[in-house]
Amino acid sequence: MKKLLSAMALTALAIGPAQANDLYRCETGALPQGEYVVFFETGKTSIDKKGMAELKKAADRAKYMLDVCVVGQADNQGDKEFNKKLAKKRATAVVAELKRLGVPGSTLVTLVQGEAFGDLLPKAIDEKKSAQSRRVTVRLMR
């Protein structure tokens, strides 16, 4: 437990108090009550029909949750800084859609992972694996 608290304190120093609070809300405490994933095309932030259907399902349950964690991610095919910005734009698009679908803004927590797997996957991976990295995950926390 002491190691966990130390790691959280170091994370808070690295990312700032507001993001540390969001990280705490999403990564500790209650177990997720549901998880929904929206996938994106390379370099895109628009949500397709399949993604909209997934968000509709998420929103129907998310209205009754204490926290709804929205985690933006990208693949590792481009520049790290670009991928981080792209992941943030994707998460922002999902948050906007969840709000439009009636999820209270006060429950929405946005986090950005940037490159989903960082350097763990080689740059020359096949498209199917890379597509799994281009996503936003919506976790419902109670």
pTM of the model: 0.77
Instruction: Enumerate residues 6+ apart whose C-beta is below 8 A from 111.
Output: 19, 22, 23, 26, 69, 70, 71, 72, 91
- Taking the C-alpha atoms of residue 46 and residue 115, their distance in angstroms, rounded to an integer, is 18
pLDDT tens for the chain, 142 residues long, are: 344 334 443 344 344 444 555 566 676 656 778 999 999 999 999 999 999 999 999 999 999 888 999 999 998 887 889 999 999 999 999 999 999 999 999 999 999 987 765 545 555 555 666 778 899 999 998 7
Contact 113, 73 (CB under 8 A): yes
